[in-house]
Structure formats: structure tokens, C-alpha cells
Structure 1
Amino acid sequence: MTMLFKPVVFRPLPRPVRPFPNETLSSYWGRLGAANHVLVEHVRLLSPWRTGLTSDTTKRTDELEILSGEPERSLTLALPELRWNEQGFASLPERNSYLRQWACRLCAAAKFPGQPIQVWALAHHTQVCTRHGLWIGKAVSQPQDQRDLEQLPGTVNAQLRHRRLLRRYGPDLISLAHHAARPFWRSLAGRYYTLAESDPTRLLQPRGSRTGWSPDL
């Protein structure tokens, strides 16, 4: 039986898109589609002439290079998933030590206005954007939830000290210290405090009973 021949054109998209540092692959695909006014599932529909029987583009940096107009080196440096798949350790601890979270909305806006971006960050170690003084970690479900820490300079300084400890001792030892201190922070979070939704200048305000929110690092 002869199959109907339906060629699919494979060519660069008209508007190239630069990746954001440590951006997730799904976030980059979404921005690439949005910039070219194409649904992301259509952007990823590549020619069978090039992909053969598979459409797993996470392992095909060359195809993403053609679509995006970005050089392979730039893509590999900026998109961790390309490196993880190429090096074959997608299921090893190095990969599992990262979590998806929203990039600082001000950092994203400086490079790509109006485009929210998700990035890979070291699990539990990136809670604050020290450049803009925004809380970007725990309890942030969308970029608009990132709170201004102008009234809490000690929190920004704590993130800076945390980075120094990471460079000196590495994430494994620091993670152990976090787990050891967890009971203490849980006890503080249970002292009738919760997130203040009505007053953006205060992150915490007293409320009569323990809530589910806690700095569970």
C-alpha cells in the first residue's frame, strides 16, 4: 500500500528569539511561538524528513537552532535541558536538584518586555532576586506574586550570604543545614503569621490561627 506523500516545510521562523539564562525548554518554545504568532504545538511539528520516527526535540539542538535563528552554543548554554539530555543524566541527582520557578519579572522585562519566563533554579536556594529585591521563590505561583522586599533588606542580605555559602560549601551541605533548621522555621511560621495580601509593603501580618504557609526550605 502506497502512503500519501505530504511534505512538511522546515525552515527558520521569521522572528528569532533569544533564550533567557537557565530558561526551561517549554518556556522557550512558548515564547518562540508567541513571537511568531504560531501555536507552540505547530512550532514543534517538524518535518519527518529530519526527525524520522521521533519528535523529541529536546534531544535535537540542531533543529531548534534552525527554527530559532540562535547559534547552537547559545542555546546549549542557556537551556539546561539540552545539556542534560546530551549528557544522558536526566534522571540523576544533578537534574533532580533543580526546580522550575518564575524568573524575576523585572529581569525578564528588561530583556523581553511582556513575556513571563520560567527558569530552572537550584531547589530551595534561589528565593530572592538580589538585583531587584523581589521574592521569587517559595509561594510564588505567577510573576505577579513576586513581592517587593524594600521594607525587608535583611532578607535580600540573607540571600547574598546564602550564595556565598553555596560557593564555599556546595548545595549538598547547605541543603542538609536547611533540613536541620526546618523545625525552627516551622515554629516561627506557626506563631499566627500569614501572607499579607492587602498591604504590599508588608509580607507578614498577624492573624488569629496557624496557616498552611511556611518557609519550608
Structure 2
Amino acid sequence: MTDRPRPLPLAPPPVHHETIGSYLNRLADANHLTIGHLSHLLGPSRQHRRVDNRVGYWTPDALRRLAVLTGRSPSSLVHAMPPLGSIDDPLRHHRSATEEVIEPRRRPACRLCMARRHVHGLVVRSTPHHEAVCHRHHRWLLGDEQHDLTLLPEVLRANLQHHRIVRRGTHPLTALAFIDARDRLTRWFTGERRGEPLRQRWNRRLEVLGEDPFGDPHCPSEPRIELATYPEVIVLTGLFASPHWRDHPQLPAETARRFGIADTQLAAGLVRKLPPSLRILEQGISPS
């Protein structure tokens, strides 16, 4: 394609860490274009989904054309959407197993924040796991429902602790510690045992969320389970990310103490045998 594009009549700015697909769809919507037509203006026509954030098919010319269409410099676009900065990177197709696991979550931005900034339409952002809460509006962001957390202050406090763990720790070890802790407690939640104090605690949080209009009342959705177990997940994340505790023989007892339950009420095997990825990273070796 050799013709130079013209600036679009309306060019809303991208939101920081907005996914490429989200921005392109908002740009098309603002100008009453199909996403296919906008994609054609950039280069080879593609159907960009809002969660798309890969640049394997992008060329430097496509980035320059997007800059012309929006009236923004390529550097400002890269600043808002960092994956665009890897267009010329010959290694962009090669991602380690760790990078695949800890890839930032792609979730709708806080709708109240977007309304406050007069940003219209659905905005999908690529955010790390610890950016789970909008503290300005007390909203849960790791799910489409964006629950109000006013009546769940322990979730707000847990997210502040999550931020402290990330600041003190080493990336990607802290991200892997969180993912492992989340997966273990999800398995505990969905297990066969009933009546433990933690399950009662989790059920209370689910009751605060109210009825799921699209879900099974007897089988909470994964996003709701993640919210309900989040405070305990962060307790476990802190222990797994700690060089002192992660291999300590008293880790189960310390976990139970921090959960506020008896040792005998801890799920069998919950904190035994940490995954090899955590041990490898602790030794300074990046797993492939």
C-alpha cells in the first residue's frame, strides 16, 4: 500500500496500557468505520479483536500510518501501547514458558475511571496481576462484572499488600508465586471438603457480591472464586515469594496461622512441593 493515509476526523487518545485491538476498535467506532476498513488503512486487512495485543503481523510502516491517522507521534503511541515498540524486534515471536504464564491480564479498564475521563466505549487494558483493584472507586477489575468492594475491605487491604509484595520482590518470581497461590486455593475451593472456616469466609464474600445473573447459583464462576479467595491468595503469595518461608519446614503452620485457622484445617498438601519454576528462578536461572 503506497497511498498516504489522511488523519481521521476523530482520534481519541489511547489509554495507558490499552491493548492495540481495543484502541483500534475505539478509533473505528469513533469514526463510524468497520474495523476491517481501518485495518486496511494500516496495511494488510485484519479483524482486530479488542483483546489483541500481539504485533507479529505489524510492520514499521503500519505504525507510521497509525501515527498519521491519529495525529500522534509513533513514540507517543508506543508509550501508551508498549507492544508496538517491539515491531522491529527479531525475537518478538520467541517467548519463554515463564513469559507465557505471567503475561499481563487483558481486562476492561475501570468503567467509572473511563467515564470520569470522558472516554467512551469499551477499553481493554493489559495489566499485571497486582493491578486487580481500582482504589479510587473500590472496584474489582479482574473480571467483567467490576464488583463494588465497599463491603469487602479485606479485598482492598489485600491488594495493597499485593503491591507491597511486588515492590519488595523480584519479577517474575512474585508473579509466579501469585499464580501458583491462586491456582492452589482455587483447587481447594472447588474440592469436595465442606464446612472449613475458610470456605465459610469465602461463601460470605460471595453472598456480598449478590446473585450472578448469568451463572449457576451452586457453582460460582472462576472470576467470582478469584475475588472470594483473593485475601488468602495474597497471604500465600507473600509466603511463596519469601526466601525465608518458601522452603521453611514450618511453612504449613505459618500458613495456617496467617489464615487464622488451625493447622488441622489446612487443606492437605496446600503448601507442599513448590513448583520447579519458583526454585529455578530463585537460583537466577530463567526456565525455557
TM-score (norm 2): 0.58
Distance 2:171 2:159 in 1: 14
- Matches of 1:7 and 1:61, distance apart in 2: 14
CA 1:17–1:209 in structure 2 vs 1: closer, same or farther (change >3 Å)? Answer: closer
- Residues 95 and 62 (structure 1 numbering): CA distance in 2 closer, same or farther, change over 3 Å? farther
Q: Which residue in 2 is equivalent to 1:74?
A: 76
Alpha-carbon distance in structure 1 between the residues aligned to 2:220 and 2:204: 6
User: Superposition pairs for residues 5-16 of structure 1, below 5 Å?
Assistant: 10-16=5-11
Alpha-carbon distance in structure 2 between the residues aligned to 1:74 and 1:115: 21
Closer/same/farther in 2, CA of residues 45 and 204 from structure 1, 3 Å limit? same
Deviation at 1:176, TM superposition (A): 3.6
Query: 2:69 is paired with a residue of what secondary structure?
Result: helix
When residues 187 and 33 of structure 1 are mapped into structure 2, their CA distance, relative to the original with a 3 A threshold, is same
Which aligned pairs between 1:20-99 and structure 2 lie closer than 5 A?
20-46=15-41, 56-57=57-58, 59=60, 60-88=62-90, 89-93=92-96, 96=100, 97-99=103-105
**Which residue is 1:129 aligned to?**
134
User: SS at 1:101's partner residue?
Assistant: strand
User: What is the deviation of 1:150?
Assistant: 0.6
The count of aligned residue pairs is 196
Unaligned runs of 5+ in 2: 46-56, 192-198, 234-288
Could you tell me the percent identity over the aligned residues? 30
**Could you tell me whether the CA contact under 8 Å between 1:23 and 1:80 is conserved in 2?**
no
CA spacing shift, 1:170–1:158, aligned 2, 3 Å: same
Name the residue aligned to 1:110: 116
Within a 5 Å distance, the mapping from 1:141-160 to structure 2 comes to 142=144, 145-160=145-160
Q: Could you say what secondary structure the match of 1:119 adopts? A: strand
Q: 1:14: how far off?
A: 1.1
Unaligned runs of 5+ in 1: 1-5
Supply the distance in 2 between the matched residues of 1:10 and 1:115 (Cα, whole angstroms).
Answer: 24
Distance 1:184 1:45, change over 3 A: closer
Aligned equivalents of 1:7 and 1:182: distance in 2?
Answer: 50
Distance 1:116 1:18, change over 3 A: same
Q: What is the CA RMSD across the aligned residues, in angstroms?
A: 3.3
Deviation at 1:16, TM superposition (A): 1.8
Structure-1-length-normalised TM-score: 0.74
User: In structure 2, do the counterparts of structure 1 residues 43 and 136 end up closer, same or farther at CA, with 3 Å as the change threshold?
Assistant: same
- Aligned mates of 2:121, 2:11 — CA distance in 1: 15
Q: In the alignment, residue 86 of structure 2 is paired with which amino acid?
A: W
Q: CA deviation at 1:210?
A: 5.7
Matched residue of 1:86: which SS?
A: coil
Higher strand fraction (1 or 2): 1
